[in-house]
Amino acid sequence: MTNVLEISGLRKRFGSKQVLSDVTLSVPESCVFGFVGRNGAGKTTTMKSIIGLLKPDGGEISICGEKVTFGGTKTNRFIGYLPDVPEFYGYMTAREYLSLCGRVARMKPSEIKDRTDELLELVGLADEKHRVKGYSRGMKQRLGIAQALINRPKLLICDEPTSALDPVGRREILDILKDAGKQTSVFFSTHILTDVERICDRVAFLEGGRIVLCGDIDEIRKKRADTAVEVLPESPSDAALLAEQFPSGKVTDGCFVLKSASQQDAEELMQFILERHLSVIRFERREPDLENMFMEVIGE
């Protein structure tokens, strides 16, 4: 399996600010890839470099094995791009805009028509007759995905596609992206971790201008199996008793938490509760979530 996108040692500085110092990652075929980082971490800078809209100071980017050059647009035939705040010509209808995009992407007229119908259906704008200037943010975002997919790209790049949307709009976009991921690789940036958990196969965390964690989501989860056991006893004094018995645990808000608990730890804890006949409201094993992992890798 070849990689659709490969970035190695990407560097970029704006004035005195080193935005990217060493970004290295690869996106395999048919995969939904989450690109996570805080606001201002350099996600957009990375994406604009991939499309050749920005000139990086160093490093290499290749798409389907071809090197990306700044200002050049050759490798863009493999790419569909959705900018963070997509702006379209307000005086056009969605259909007219997609047709313009198709012509720019050098598609045949019959192909443009078929693909436009298909995509408008996919993003739910098929019955929209109005011009783009009256569109809501969510509708623009959906048109943005449609225009990005028009030339059947090998790689769909979306810059924070869900950040500005309400929960309903967000779910719709995520579903569309997940659908799109069956035909093409999707590389999307976000700072919303639940979005990543919902649709991504792989993830990379960008922090301080470099990739601090990258890989298959399930594998990362396993590697960092920081399973915690949480016990909420009926009486607060019981929580203190548990803390006494298991010194590595902590009591917060009347709830006893044992971090990095192995299977054996959990069994011992349960044994203790049974022996002492403690009355427990809740006994829970917590799976590690991305948010905790993210906080951990960025050191907060």
Partner 1 sequence: MNGIRNFFTFTGKELLELRRSGRLLVFLIIFVLFGIMNPAVAKLTPWLYESMAESLEASGLTVTEYNVTAMDSWVQFFKNMPMAMLVVLLIFGGIFTSEYAKGTLIPLLSKGLRRNAVNAAKTFTMLLVWSVGYWMSYAITYYYTDYYWDNSVVKHYAFAAFGLWLFGALLLCCISFFSSFAGSTAQVLLGVGAVYIALNLLLMVGTVREYLPSFLTQSGDLLTGQAQPSDYFTALLVAAVASVALLIASVPITAKRRV
Sheet with 280-286, edge to edge strand ranges: 250-252, 255-258, 228-233, 280-286
Which residue has tokens 């201008």? Answer: 209
Closest separation in Å from C-beta 155 to partner 1: 11
Site for partner 1 contains 81 (CB under 8 A)? yes
Is 17 or 103 the residue whose CB approaches partner 1 more closely?
Answer: 103
Site for partner 1 contains 92 (CB under 8 A)? yes
* Beta partners for residue 59, in sequence order: none
Site for partner 1 in 100-129 (CB under 8 A): 100-101, 103-106
Site for partner 1 contains 54 (CB under 8 A)? yes
Is 95 or 224 the residue whose CB approaches partner 1 more closely?
Answer: 95
Is 133 or 276 the residue whose CB approaches partner 1 more closely?
Answer: 133
Residue type, 23: V
Pick from 58, 66, 67, 85: which binds partner 1 (CB under 8 A)? 85
Pick from 1, 15, 16, 71: which binds partner 1 (CB under 8 A)? 71
d(CA 292, CA 220): 12
Closest separation in Å from C-beta 71 to partner 1: 5
Site for partner 1 contains 83 (CB under 8 A)? yes
3-state secondary structure of 91: coil
| CA distance between the termini of the chain | 36
252: Cβ contacts below 8 Å, ≥ 6 apart: none
Read off φ and ψ for residue 22, nearest 5 degrees.
Answer: -170, 90
Task: Tell me if 70 sits within 8 A of 52, measured CB to CB.
Answer: yes
Site for partner 1 contains 67 (CB under 8 A)? no
The DSSP bridge pattern shows strands 255-258 and 250-252 to be antiparallel
Site for partner 1 contains 144 (CB under 8 A)? yes
d(CA 116, CA 230): 52
203: Cβ contacts below 8 Å, ≥ 6 apart: 33, 34, 35, 36, 196, 213, 214, 215, 217, 220, 290
> Which listed range, 16-24, 68-76, 108-116, 120-128, lies at the site for partner 1 (CB under 8 A)?
68-76
The first and second tokens of residue 122, run together, are: 């996919």
Pick from 10, 20, 148, 176: which binds partner 1 (CB under 8 A)? 148
Residue type, 16: S
Site for partner 1 contains 76 (CB under 8 A)? yes
Site for partner 1 contains 64 (CB under 8 A)? no
Give the number of residues in contact with partner 1, rule: CB under 8 A.
33
Q: Which residues bind partner 1 (CB under 8 A)?
A: 51, 53-55, 71, 73-74, 76-77, 79-83, 85-89, 91-92, 96, 100-101, 103-106, 144, 147-148, 150-151
